[in-house]
Structure 1
Amino acid sequence: MTIAVDFDGVIHAYSRGWHDGSIYDPPIPGALDGLRTLMDQDAVFIHTTRDVSQVASWLLAHGFSVRVGHDGPFWNERGRLLVTNQKMAATAYLDDRAVRFTDWDQALADLIPKQARP
């Protein structure tokens, strides 16, 4: 399996939002151990809208083996994190801003307040 993990809000606490573009917070409690646990079982990539080199450097400083840049549609290497700004194939996506899609009625109910719908 391949697991995609969002960076901001899932690994990096992101308490001030984008702020000045820096990675200013420590990791979310449990994030680094959680990543290592996932990496023991599956291939894991980090997806981000940030500069991937910036995120890779942060992860390297926290003891991870990291790769930046990958040409294929799949990431299946265990033990090393890929950092990318591309949405790649994954068995699951771990993201703090996700809405789980089951059908359009539920998606609209989750995204648009009832009073704002036509």
Structure 2
Amino acid sequence: MAWFILAIAGVLEVVWAFSMKKSAGFTLITPTLITIVAAAASFVLLSVSMRALPLGTAYTIWTGIGAIGAFAIGVAVLGEAATPGRLIAAALIIAGIVLMKLSGGQGWPSL
């Protein structure tokens, strides 16, 4: 259950990052409110997941989901560049998330 909660927290991180971009510097009320609510919910769910997951694992995966999700939304919705360098960087983030998950927080991976 902690992993599911962490995944939802990560998705909410993407939501608040996107809505923050759409808020035009917090000058538009609806995206501003979405940013605040999604950020608060994301933090709460992250803290709940940390009851069962190690800090380093939970935080790394949460920020990784946010980074990859924000990158994907930026490319797919906002027309940001998907250059080879950015795609390689995204792949490395994903590889780090997978390795962090597989390691179980107990040192080197216990595959």
Q: Same fold (TM over 0.5)?
A: no
Q: Which has the higher strand share?
A: 1
The structure in which a higher percent of residues are helix is 2
